[in-house]
Amino acid sequence: MALVHARRVRATWRAALPLALALALLSGCSDDEPVPEDDTETAPEVVEVEMIDFGYLDLPTSVPAGTQLSVTNSSEAELHELVAFRLPDEEERSTQDLLELPPEELMPTLGAPETVLLAAPGGPQIAAVGDGTLTEPGRYAIVCFIPTGVEPAVYLEAAAASDEGPPQVDGGPPHFAQGMYRELVVE
Ligand SMILES: [Cu+2]
């Protein structure tokens, strides 16, 4: 619990920083009047997810709507990603069942992702789609499609050159086949 609390405090501080800077500029920066504190109750919660070979640590099973996910990568060699799809309301199959579908059936079922966050081993977060914020309540599939064993730089270069969707890069089975997926409920 202490760890969760520490994260929340840090996230609140980060979210409040731009407002604090704006207020400092407006007030001319010259006086020593205290800057009013941001309303911490309305700041979005940030959940920092640690990506490992092959899974997501610190990802709850449910989060409130408006929660922002962020990622770090503790792997020694593997690029990882957090791709979040909001499953259709009428969809009743589990994420696990869906991921057993053949790719040509799976991708249309999942549709367009709400957010895509990547990170190379030890590297900074790359927000490829959205900023990690999940605003709409519902059931989400959280999936890593990175092919096992692919060189992070090779994949990221291919992704930068790809107009839409995930790049086609040779490699082993996608990480989700090794268990790198989760189901998340946004309430
Ligand atoms: Cu992965």
Residues with CB under 5 A from ligand 1 (ion): 80, 144, 146, 175, 180
96: CA distance to ligand 1 center in Å?
16
User: Global pTM?
Assistant: 0.77
pLDDT (tens digit, 9 = 90+) per residue, 45-57?
Answer: 999 999 999 999 9
pLDDT (tens digit, 9 = 90+) per residue, 73-99?
Answer: 999 999 999 999 999 999 999 999 999
Half-sphere exposure of 186 (CA within 13 A, CB side): 24
79: CA distance to ligand 1 center in Å?
6
* The amino acid at 185: V
112: CA distance to ligand 1 center in Å?
19
Going residue by residue through the chain (187 aa), what tens digit of pLDDT does each one get? 444 444 443 333 333 333 333 333 333 444 455 555 555 556 679 999 999 999 999 999 999 999 999 999 999 999 999 999 999 999 999 999 999 999 899 999 999 999 999 999 999 999 999 999 999 999 999 999 999 999 999 999 998 888 777 788 889 999 999 999 999 999 9
Output the pLDDT for position 166: 76
120: CA distance to ligand 1 center in Å?
10
166: CA distance to ligand 1 center in Å?
13
70: CA distance to ligand 1 center in Å?
15
28: CA distance to ligand 1 center in Å?
47
Output the pLDDT for position 61: 97
**Rounded distance, CA 111 to CA 1, Å?**
35
108: CA distance to ligand 1 center in Å?
21
Determine how β-strand 67-73 pairs with β-strand 46-52: parallel
23: CA distance to ligand 1 center in Å?
41
Output the pLDDT for position 18: 38
Output the pLDDT for position 88: 96
Output the pLDDT for position 163: 77
78: CA distance to ligand 1 center in Å?
7
The three-state secondary structure class of 121 is coil
Residues ≥6 apart with Cβ < 8 Å to 130: 113, 114, 115, 116
12: CA distance to ligand 1 center in Å?
28
How big is the CA angle at 162 (ends 99 and 96), to the nearest 5 degrees?
Answer: 5
Beta pairing partners, 170? none
137: CA distance to ligand 1 center in Å?
25
Output the pLDDT for position 33: 53
